[in-house]
Structure 1
Amino acid sequence: MTALACVDPPPTRVAVRRTLSVPAGFVNCGPFAWRPGIDGVEIIHRLDASTISDASMVDGLLHLVNLGILAGRHAFEQAALGVIRTSAPDDDRAWAAFYDNSLAELADGRSPFAPIHLRARSLVVGESVLEVGSCFGFLALQCAGDGRRVHACDISLGATALLKSAARRRGDDVSAVVGDATALPFGADSVDTVTLIHLLEHLDDGSARRALSEALRVARRRVVVAVPYEDHPSEHFGHLLRLTASHLRHWAELVEPATVEFFDDHGGWMVLTPR
C-alpha cells in the first residue's frame, strides 16, 4: 500500500460526480480521481452514456480499492451506483446505457466476464433456465437472447427491479423475483437448468450447501456452478470464502447429485445432474 492509500478511518460516505477535468486537490487514480471528504471520500470520473459499463466502472473502482481508498462492500457499492447514476443526465438514461454497453461488451468479448458467461450459456440444457444470484441480470438477459424461457432470482430488491426494467425496455422475456438462494421461491423440478454463477463465494459454508441443495430441488436436468479462484476473498465484492476445487468436491459429496463433473475455466466449475 502506498502513501496515497491512507484514508483513515475507512470511508463511511462516498460522493461521486462526473467532470471533464480534474480539479485542484484531487489525486488521479487510474481513470478516476479522488480526494478525502468531510466524512468519507469524493470521487470524480469522466464516464458518460457512451462509455459507462460494468467493466469500465469496475476497472476504475478497483484502482481505488487496490490503494485502500475504498474499503469494504458498502463503500464499493455506494461508489458503483454513484458512477452509474452520474454517467447520464437522468437515472433512466444512465441505467439504459449501463445495460446496453455492458451487454455489448459481453457479446464482443471485451468484458472480463465474457468467457465465463459464454461457458455458462453453453452448459444450459432445456428450454428454461433460472439464474440464482442474478444481480444486474446480464446472464439472464443473454439467455433470453438465446431463446430460453428465463427466470432470475436475487436477494436484492433493487437489483431485481433494475433487471425487470431493463428486460421490459429491451423486449427480453425475463421473469425476475426477489428470493434467497437457500430457500428458492420455485417448485420442485420447475426449470430445466439452474445456474449459480459466482454466487457461492458470497455465502458461508453451510449456506452454500443449502443453496446447492435448493438448486438441485428446482432443476429438472442440470445445475451449473462457477466460482472464482482468488488469493484472498474480494471483500469489496462481498466475498466471504476463498474457494478452491476441494470446496466444490466437498459440497458435491454433501448434496449427493446423480452425477457431477468438475473442470477449470477462468475459475472452478461444477455441473450437477439431479437425482
Structure 2
Amino acid sequence: MATVSDDRIVTALARFASAGALAGQTEFERAFTAVVASSGPREDACWRAFYRNSVAELRGGQAAFSPVHRRARSLLVGRSILEVGCCFGLLALQCAQDGYAVTACDICPGALHLLDDAANTLGLPIITRRGDARALPLATDSVDTVTLIHLLEHLDGPDVAVALREALRVARRRVVVAVPFEERPSAHFGHRQQLTDDDLRAWSTDLTGCTATIFTDHGGWLVLDHR
C-alpha cells in the first residue's frame, strides 16, 4: 500500500497488455482496480493511499504522465476550472491544490465516488458532476477554463466536434485539449483514434468564434481561446 500508485500500476499492466495477457479496456480496468483494492487489508485505505501516492508522484515529476499534467496546469486561465473526462480526477486534485475552483466531470459514477472520497480526505473542495463530454451538465459560460486531457482519442470522429463545441459553450475564456500521438491506438486504454497534428488542425478549422494554438509536448495540444 505504501507504493501503490497510478503510474506504477499502469506501467506494469501495460506490459501485460502488450504481451497479450490482458485483452481490451474492460480487462485492463478490472485488473487495475483489483490491484489497488488488494494492496492492503482495507479497500478504502488502499484507494486513499493510491490517491496520495499518485498525486505526489505527478506533482514531483516521478510519474510518466507528469509532463502532461504540468503543461495542462500551466495553460489554465482564470480561477474556475472544469475537467471533462476526469476519470480518477488526479489532475483535478492538483488544480484544487493550486487554489483553483474545480469541477470534475466524468461518465463513470464509480470514478466520481472515489474522487469525492479522495477530495474529502485531502481537504480539497472539488465539485463532481456525472456527465457526457457531448452534453455537459453545466451552463453556458460557467467556468473560465475547460480541459479535455487525453479524452478525445476515446471518441469516434463525429463525436469529437460535438465535444469541442460543448467545451467552448461552457468555457468563458479557454479550452485546453491534449491527445497522445501513438503509432496505433492503445486498445487497453480504450483509444479509438490514432491522432496527429493534422487532426488537431482539422478540428480547429471547424470551430468559429475562437483562436487556435497547436503545439507538441509529450503528445499534441490544441488551445482554443474565445475571441
Instruction: Tell me which residue corresponds to 2:114.
Output: 162
Following TM superposition, by how much is the alpha carbon of 1:218 offset from its aligned partner in structure 2, in angstroms? 0.3
Kept after mapping to 2: 8 A contact 1:216/1:257: no
Of structures 1 and 2, the larger Rg is shown by: 1
| 3-state DSSP of counterpart to 1:270 | strand
| Whole-angstrom CA distance in 2 between matches of 1:250 and 1:219 | 21
Match of residue 19 from structure 2: 67
Q: Which has the higher helix share?
A: 2
The 8 Å contact of residues 257 and 272 in structure 1, kept in 2 or not, is answered as no
SS in 2 for 1:111: coil
Post-superposition, which runs of at least 4 consecutive aligned residues in structure 1 deviate over 4 A?
A: none
Percent of aligned pairs sharing the same letter: 55
The 5-angstrom pairing of residues 1-275 of structure 1 reads: 49-275=1-227
Q: Which amino acid aligns with 1:211?
A: A
Look up the equivalent residue of 2:3 and give its one-letter code: T
TM-score scaled by length of structure 2: 0.99
Q: Give the secondary-structure state (helix, strand or coil) at the position aligned to 1:118.
A: helix
Aligned partners of 2:31 and 2:224: how far apart in 1? 37
Structure 1: tracts of 5 or more residues without a match: 1-48
Q: Aligned-pair distance for 1:117? A: 0.3
* Deviation of the 1:268 alpha carbon: 0.2
Q: Read off the aligned partner of 2:18 and give its amino acid letter.
A: N
User: Once the 2 structures are TM-superposed, how far is the Cα of residue 274 of structure 1 from its aligned partner?
Assistant: 2.4
Any idea what SS the aligned residue of 2:27 has? helix
Give, in whole Å, the separation in 2 of the partners of 1:203 and 1:274.
24
Q: How far, CA to CA, are the matches of 2:32 and 2:89 in structure 1?
A: 16
Give a deviation string over 1:117-167, Cα, whole Å, max 9, x none.
Answer: 000000000010000000000000000011000001000010111111110
Deviations 1:56-109 (A, max 9, x none): 111111111111011101110110010000001111110001000001100110
* Amino acid in the other structure paired with 1:240: R
SS at match of 1:255: coil
CA distance in 2, matches of 1:255, 1:156: 28
Distance, in Å, in 1 between the alignment partners of 2:36 and 2:207 is 39
Quote the Cα distance in structure 1 between the aligned partners of 2:64 and 2:188: 17
Secondary structure, counterpart of 1:273 in structure 2:
strand
Q: How far has the Cα of 1:257 moved from its partner?
A: 4.0
Give aligned pairs, total.
227
Q: 5+ residue gaps in structure 2? A: none
1:31 corresponds in structure 2 to none
Work out which structure has the larger RCO, using CA pairs closer than 8 Å and 6 or more positions apart in sequence.
Answer: 2
The one-letter amino acid of 2:4's match is: I
Per-residue deviation at 1:273? 1.0
Amino acid paired to 2:20? G
Asked if structure 2 preserves the Cα contact closer than 8 Å seen for 1:198 and 1:228, the reply is yes
Counterparts of 1:145 and 1:75 in 2: how far apart (Å)? 32
Counterpart residue type for residue 66 of structure 1: S
